[in-house]
Amino acid sequence: RTKEPGRRVTSVTLLERDGAKLPALEEAARCARATVRGAFLARDLVNTPANVANPEFLAQAARELATSGLEVTVGDAQWAASEDMGALLAVSRGSANEPRFIVMEHDPGRAQQPTVVLVGKGVTFDTGGFSLKTRDGMVPMKADMAGAAAVIGAMAAIAELDAPVRVIGICPCVENMADARAYRPSDVIVARGGTSIEVISTDAEGRLALADALSYAGDLQPSAVVDIATLTGSSIVAMGAGVSASLFANDDQLAQRLAGAGDATGERVWRMPLFAEYRKTIESQVADMKNSGGARGGVGTAAVFLQEFVSYPWAHIDMAGMEVVDKPGQRQYLSSGASGYGVRLLVELVRSWED
């Protein structure tokens, strides 16, 4: 990286004295190119203003990847209703922009390959709904779809690299606004699969969209599912902004794979507990559970909420605080704006899966 104004690196030449190592060097360069392109795509999506980057905008970005070998389908509000996605639809009710449910599949066609599902939260703007955010707290909320951007960018790279693993990317995309149709605190909604949820906070909307997506993922007979989301401010309190994402998992091997991928890429994760006490904070007298444990619920509350919708090896990455760089120098290889966090992590997870 050059620090001289007006100058930028346009090419890099790699030298290797040992000719036997040349194929490995070329493969490393190929992987780097694909991953960088995926990260740049994610950064561009997150940096796009929310009046442009609505759910349909993300869906179109995914559709354009179909030319790279991905099979892409997009469900609208009517499709979501046919799938009984009551949680996703509740979040979207207050917006003039309909939800989009993006599914991207990379299938290398190899026999007996595992199926890894990547799920990214795609809240394209989050006002908090009727549980309204503060004026300043609302400003950065165009980045609340950074999880979906990471999955879209990772899927682009995975397709380009023709990874030997079947990978399916899912992005439930909604906009959380407040109007006469919007869902309210004290509402009871029913998620896909029949779980009833008492709404305590309409600002705990990401986990509702993810709940239906995780239920849908279960129908795909996955070997593992990883969701990634800017889910809670509690994760920033626990880990520090720009330091590490919080990792929750019900499977030790999957947690170890993600920790190794984080170490290899510099996109760190730190495993957190799924204590039973967190589940008690979301017990409800009128529904199967609440969508929030309140201000003192802790970083694990959202994770145990999501755990209710999984029946397979699963990990949840709360990337809140990792999605943007507020000032240059915070991480030396990044400029201000979207970081593209998650793309390299997820690509490395998939690439190393067969090891």
In this prediction, residue 110 carries a pLDDT of 77
Q: What average pLDDT does the chain have?
A: 94
The helix (H) or strand (E) run that includes residue 166 is strand 166-176
Q: Per DSSP, what are the bridge partners of residue 324?
A: 338
The span from the CA of 259 to the CA of 254, in Å, is: 9
The span from the CA of 110 to the CA of 165, in Å, is: 8
Least confident of 122-136, 212-226, 292-306: 292-306
Handedness of CA 49, 54, 56, 58 (dihedral sign): positive
Q: Catalytic positions, please? A: 133, 207
Query: Which among 7-21, 182-196, 327-341 has the top mean pLDDT?
Result: 182-196
Reported as a pLDDT band with limits 50, 70 and 90, residue 11 is confident
Reported as a pLDDT band with limits 50, 70 and 90, residue 347 is very high
pLDDT tens track for 287-320: 999 999 987 777 899 999 999 999 999 999 999 9
The helix (H) or strand (E) run that includes residue 24 is helix 22-47
Query: Contact, 89 vs 116, CB < 8 A?
Result: no
**CA distance between the termini of the chain:** 33
